[in-house]
Structure 1
Amino acid sequence: MDFKIRENRTVARGRRPLSDERAAYFRLVKQGYSNNEACRIVGINPKTGRRWRNGRNASGRTAAAPPVKPVAPASAAGRYLREEERIHIADRLREKASLRTIAAELQRSPSTISREIRRNGVPLRGDARRWAYRPHAAQSRADARRPRPKPGKIGQNPELRDFVQDHLGRRWSPEQICQALQARFPDRPEMHVVHETIYQALYVQGRGELRRELAKALRTGRAMRRPHRQSSKRQPRMARDMVMISDRPAEVSDRAVPGHWEGDLIIGKAHKSAIGTLVERSSRFVTLVHLPQGRQPAQMRDALVRTVSTLPAQLRRSLTWDQGSEMHLHREFSTATDMPVFFCDPGSPWQRGSNENTNGLLRQYFPKGTDLARYSREELDAVAAELNSRPRKTLGWETPAERLAKLLATAS
């Protein structure tokens, strides 16, 4: 304690603030001490403790005094436990009833009863392994936690805030950041958050936990949530010599064998420029196709042949594409590379899910409305290298480069 308890209480010391004693008193009450016991430890009269906690009505010349800590409104019936339910829990615990029995009597989940005792119980003095559950103190703690808004975890921890802001600036997703925090600080729970906490710190107005402009580093670049809408379905634009995805070998679907790719285009400003994207299905390894002159079928064929020819033979097994007209010369591409091409059904982007997801990631580097023809081959390689060195949830938080290296080592 930051104050000295006076030993001789018969000598009046006059008026003086008792802020330190009051803070110590409420700490003890929160830990489960009774009013008399807390007052004895702090060195105050029990009436003083009751006045601090409950307030005082006006009487004669004595003015009324409100409680030092305002009393929160009592919990309503329904979702939250009520005070009478907490009294029932305390009574049944003294009778050695099991948690499941108590839960059945209150028509609550056993996990609700277990969590209530764990959160609002207190360790017994002298034996930290044993717990006491005091219902009125538990009700006070629960009511004190209810008021909103609450300060966010990120805003209260500068080290955590700086870590999150730094990785958002590097275009990591909130979920990737959460996994990195657990790996970097395994024994520091104050540095662990879930991805929803990061989204709330960005989206909720007035919290000020993360810089507002960091929302632009998210995949969508939006500073607010937007409901999902059904995308318009595209009509087939090519119907000659196509081998459909239903005829694709089974080994492609299970992603066990490397070398099967999904491909598509991301389109630039006014639909006048494009970049080809290739994603290896087993490792999610990304390769970008440079199309500085356009995406006509002949240009697409030549660019794909140049890109695929740089891959080792065991990574040239198949390519899955949508029914875009840029692949009109797919037969010539297959002849040049010995790599069959399979086509998705119309309006079925989920059949190339890895590629669709990757295109979303690439929009952080190549925003819509950008002239994609101005990017050089070296710039495309740098973007692909950054994506391939980023941990991915679907790979157990390995990077695509690490997973591809493992698959090639196993295959050889």
Structure 2
Amino acid sequence: WTSGPFYSALAAQRKADLRRRGSRKPRRMDSDRLRAWVLDSLRRGWSPELIEGRLKARYAGDPSMRISHECLYQWIYAKPQRALDLRQYLARGRKRRTRKKGRKAKGPRIPMRVPIADRPEAVGSRKGFGHFESDTVVGAAPSRRCMNTQVERRSRRLFARLVDDKSASATARAEYEIFKDIPPAARVDRTWDNGTEASLHMLVDEALGMLTYFADPYSSWQRGSNENRNGRIRRYLPKGTGFGDLAQEDLDAIVGEINDTPMKLLGYKTPNEVWDEEIAKLQSKAASPNTSVALTN
């Protein structure tokens, strides 16, 4: 009868109250423990959607540690929270990038350039591990310092190292320093754009037994993981920031925070967690006698 002319607002309110009490998911930030966890995550740069997913993954058996991203947005913009200025921790929207068309590539400037078309299909599918995307992030003048960034495609784990300039020799040294301590099976190849800073790629390849592929001109989407991680770095070091006074230790701290941030496409795991899982798989295979391969007939 609640749908008829004798609808009772009081009865409807009672039913709503009963449903709310019986709900297993809290609709407000009623828990001090939940509030503290959410505040800490926001200050670390996590989005409300990431927070919702990570809570479900980490506290699967604890319904008190739940909040939807819609409710979290409402909570952030609610009047009682404005004094905390939580909106500053929300990511700003960015303009959508469009691919440039109708431009022809210049002649080859990189010796021994292997195009991305020759890269194994397994690399593109992200089913394999140990395949990286490479790039250079340039700082503002007058300093010539920049950073070399490498992103493992499966785990999305970021590596970054400061370099004195964008020269090919400085870039090759930075790449060597990044990759030399990574197990060989976890550093199979990398994909660069067509910048001349990668023109000495063969030195790193020969020293470490790696391969290098090059994306098509004006096709940054072919290295989307690296573009995404560079965007995360820019949250800490916006465009227009010079790297002259930036210490490697400070960059390492930024990279560590990025790699400890869960990602939806990783099932709300962090890049570090997925990287560690893949390294453990490699170690397990190496230790298993059943995985040995005969080198002679």
Aligned to 1:239: 108
Q: Which runs of 5+ in 1 are unaligned?
A: 1-31, 33-82, 88-133, 146-152
Q: Which runs of 5+ in 2 are unaligned?
A: 17-26, 287-297
1:379 Cα deviation (Å)? 2.4
What TM-score, normalized by structure 1, do the two folds share? 0.56
1:211 Cα deviation (Å)? 5.0
Question: CA–CA distance in 1 between the matches of 2:193 and 2:236?
Answer: 23
Residue 269 of structure 1 aligns to a residue whose secondary structure is coil
1:280 paired with 2:152, answer yes
CA distance 1:374–1:237, change in 2 (3 Å) = farther
Asked whether the 8 Å contact 1:154–1:161 carries over to 2, the reply is no
What is the correspondence of 1:270-309 to structure 2 with a 5 Å cutoff?
270=141, 272-291=144-163, 293-309=164-180
Aligned to 1:336: 207
1:248 paired with 2:119, answer yes
Question: CA–CA distance in 2 between the matches of 1:335 and 1:238?
Answer: 25
Question: CA–CA distance in 1 between the matches of 2:233 and 2:83?
Answer: 23
1:184 paired with 2:56, answer no
Asked whether the 8 Å contact 2:38–2:51 carries over to 1, the reply is yes
1:209 paired with 2:81, answer yes
Q: Which of 216, 223, 231 lines up with 1:360 in the alignment?
A: 231
What TM-score, normalized by structure 2, do the two folds share? 0.75
Question: CA–CA distance in 2 between the matches of 1:166 and 1:238?
Answer: 51
Aligned length: 266
Overall identity of the aligned pairs, in %: 34
1:316 Cα deviation (Å)? 2.0
CA distance 1:187–1:315, change in 2 (3 Å) = closer
- Over aligned residue pairs, what C-alpha RMSD do you find? 3.4
Cα offsets for 1:266-311 (capped at 9, x unmatched): 22224843211111112122211221x1111221122112222222
Question: CA–CA distance in 2 between the matches of 1:297 and 1:200?
Answer: 49
Aligned to 1:257: 128
Bigger Rg, which one: 1
Residue 236 of structure 2 aligns to a residue whose secondary structure is coil
1:262 Cα deviation (Å)? 0.8
Asked whether the 8 Å contact 1:268–1:368 carries over to 2, the reply is yes
Question: CA–CA distance in 2 between the matches of 1:248 and 1:281?
Answer: 14
Question: CA–CA distance in 2 between the matches of 1:139 and 1:239?
Answer: 77
Aligned to 1:383: 254
Asked whether the 8 Å contact 2:145–2:162 carries over to 1, the reply is no
What is the correspondence of 1:147-162 to structure 2 with a 5 Å cutoff?
154=28, 160-162=34-36
Higher RCO (CA 8 Å, separation ≥ 6 residues): 2
User: Greater CA deviation, 253-262 or 401-410?
Assistant: 401-410
